[in-house]
Amino acid sequence: MKEIHRSKASFRDPDGYVFTNEKDELLRVVHNSYSEVWSELNTCGLFGELHSKKLLVFHEEINELTVDHDKLIKPKKIPFISYPYEWSFNQLKDAALLTLKIQKLSLKKNFSLKDATPYNVQFLDGKPIFIDTLSFEKLNQENPWTAYHQFCTMFYAPLVLQAFGFSDAQGLLKIHLDGIPLNDVSRMLPFKSRFNPSVYMHIHLHAKFSQKHEGRKAESSKLTYSKRKHEQLIDNLIRSISKLRLPSKNSTWNKYYETGLLSENYFEKKKEAVKMLLNKIEYSTVWDLGCNEGEFSKLTKETSAVIATDLDYKAIDQFYLKLKETKSERILPLVFNISNPSAGIGWKNEERTSFLERINVDLTLALAVMHHLRISNNVPFALMAEMFAKQTQYLIFEYVPKDDPNVERIMGLKKDVYLDYTRDHFLLEFKKWFRTIESLAVQGSKRELYLFERK
């Protein structure tokens, strides 16, 4: 067997696994245990329909075998893997609706999803797409959808919690890798949620039933559930999730472009300066750190792929909806806090890879983040420079002086112990890792933009 690198996240499914070969191609082994189901999935037309509707990642079968009699397929590779706790509300909502749509189409072909986890969904060309080709099983005409409980704990629960004001509910998926316990969700939700029939059925009643039958699988397995009941269940979930909305109140940063700027002139001049610097380098992948609603992500060239991150969930959600409306496919907005990056979690802390292990780009935009990192989070310039040097070749960094109004605002009543907060010290530390290509003053402010290249 040629050298392979098995995915550290691909070990739970007995029917196959994912690996990369010596050419860095992504491949999936299909074991004999799945051969009968695999054959029927192809002959019944379900795979063809899901591929044609761009609901399931496209794959091709290849002749090369890694183990005798196993099938080998080559799925389309996702450029950047993201996780549900990094998505906004509407990204998770669209991923949930995609999963339900696939389940509904599967039922028509007498198949069902055996898994209903958001980890089976990724974002490709601005849209959610299902990536687990082996997640289908033959429909059991008598028993309930086996993945229904998982769907409720991993999709429906965090969506409902956010709709009722728990803004960081998706972050609970970092702790509860197998889904948020419904008993906990039921207790967290306000009493008024019980007057919503769907929430009552899929959360409160579901939690009671699960608790009652915990450890009594034999008794609960005697319940019968017709195919028609399956369809009604899916339709109810689709209607309920489609109606869910975030509370209308603003977050800290989602109105930043309207209320937080130094001046309108500053914003336009800054955009002009960033464009000038972008024209001086070649790049194809971009990380826009602290993107807010993505005005600077959009300035990057149309052929580039952008990962746009911000810690403000509402700003990222608004950005995602705007991209969806304009059918922009090259920018992926994600919720991310640079001072507390998504860590490696799951088995051996490797099943879900840390964000900083996944991100490696040609260019990083770090605009108006310096003072937040240095003062709000007490990160020294030396550590900032080192982190950026490990993630990017080029860096456009905005220097924000100490007498900037926004710096003075976040200083507040803090004691000024930031004696190293000077241009000279900032440049001293960054030049250990980068060389300066150009620097520009941002008119309408005392700020400066630096274009760095990693040494």
pLDDT tens per residue, range 47-62 = 999 999 999 999 998 8
Looking at the DSSP bridge assignments, the partners of residue 352 are 345
- Burial label for 339, CB within 10 Å (0-12, 13-18, 19+), is exposed
Query: If you write DSSP's letter for every residue of 209-234 in order, what string do you get?
Result: HHHHTTT-HHHHTT----HHHHHHHH
pLDDT tens string 100-120: 999 999 999 999 999 999 999
Q: What is the pTM of this model?
A: 0.93
Tokens coding 352: 């879900």
Please tell me the predicted confidence (pLDDT) of residue 106: 95
Pairwise CA distance, residues 368 & 354, whole Å? 24
Query: Which residue, among 146, 147, 176, 9, has the nearest Cα to 81 in the 3D structure?
Result: 9
When pLDDT is averaged across residues 350-356 and rounded to a whole number, the result is: 95
Pairwise CA distance, residues 375 & 368, whole Å? 12
**pLDDT exceeds cutoff 80 at 66:** no
Class of domain 256-454: alpha beta
Tokens coding 362: 């040609």
The alpha carbon torsion through 130, 132, 135, 136 (nearest 10 deg) reads 60
**Residue scoring higher pLDDT (250 or 260):** 250
Write phi, then psi, for 396 (nearest 5 degrees).
Answer: -105, 115
When pLDDT is averaged across residues 406-427 and rounded to a whole number, the result is: 90
Q: Residue 371 in contact with residue 447, Cβ under 8 Å? A: no
Return the beta strands (E) in 68-135 as ranges: 71-75, 111-113, 121-124, 127-130
Sign of CA dihedral 190, 196, 201, 202: negative
- Kindly tell me the number of DSSP H helices and DSSP E strands found in the chain: 18, 16
Pairwise CA distance, residues 352 & 82, whole Å? 9
Mean pLDDT for the chain overall:
90
Half-sphere exposure of 174 (CA within 13 A, CB side): 17
pLDDT tens string 254-311: 555 544 555 668 889 999 999 999 999 999 999 999 999 899 999 999 999 999 999 9
Q: Classify residue 444 as left (phi > 0), alpha (psi -120 to 50) or beta.
A: left
When pLDDT is averaged across residues 400-414 and rounded to a whole number, the result is: 89
Pairwise CA distance, residues 147 & 119, whole Å? 14
Please tell me the predicted confidence (pLDDT) of residue 146: 87
Please tell me the predicted confidence (pLDDT) of residue 401: 94
SS3 288: strand
